[in-house]
Amino acid sequence: MSDYQSPYQPGAPAERLQPGGYASAEPKTLSIVSLAIGIVSLFLGFTFLIPIAGLIVGIMAKGREPAGRTMANWGIALNIVALVLGLLLVLLFGGIVLAALGMAGFAA
């Protein structure tokens, strides 16, 4: 008769038996973790471990999860920005402390 096969017939492919008629989605776990760490690292950028971990997870996600590539790219970018801002804050704070110590030495 016809080539149509109902999803409820025995022997139907597993994809057709998914709820709502959709195939299962590709995993994006590493991409989501990288993006979340990137957002958090902007607020906790004074630690270098959090942005470095997010950067590593983002690079892993780009290779393993093609469906989450955009989120992985954003995660990588946010983690790099957090690292650069953290480095600038450390240098600025260190310069202020060294300047204060240097001026204190001349005042004595």
Angle of the 69-107 helix axis to the 29-43 helix axis, nearest 10? 20
Among residues 72, 87, 70, the alpha carbon closest in space to that of 30 is found at: 72
d(CA 1, CA 64): 43
Angle at 28 between CA 68 and CA 81, to 5 degrees: 60
Q: Which of 8, 2, 65, 1 is nearest to 33 (CA)?
A: 65
Q: What is the pLDDT along the chain (108 residues), one digit of tens a residue?
A: 566 655 555 655 555 545 565 666 788 999 999 999 999 988 876 688 899 999 999 999 999 999 999 999 999 999 999 999 988 988 898 888 888 888 776 655
Alpha helices in the chain (DSSP H): 29-43, 49-64, 69-107
Structural domain boundaries of the chain? 26-107
pTM of the model: 0.69
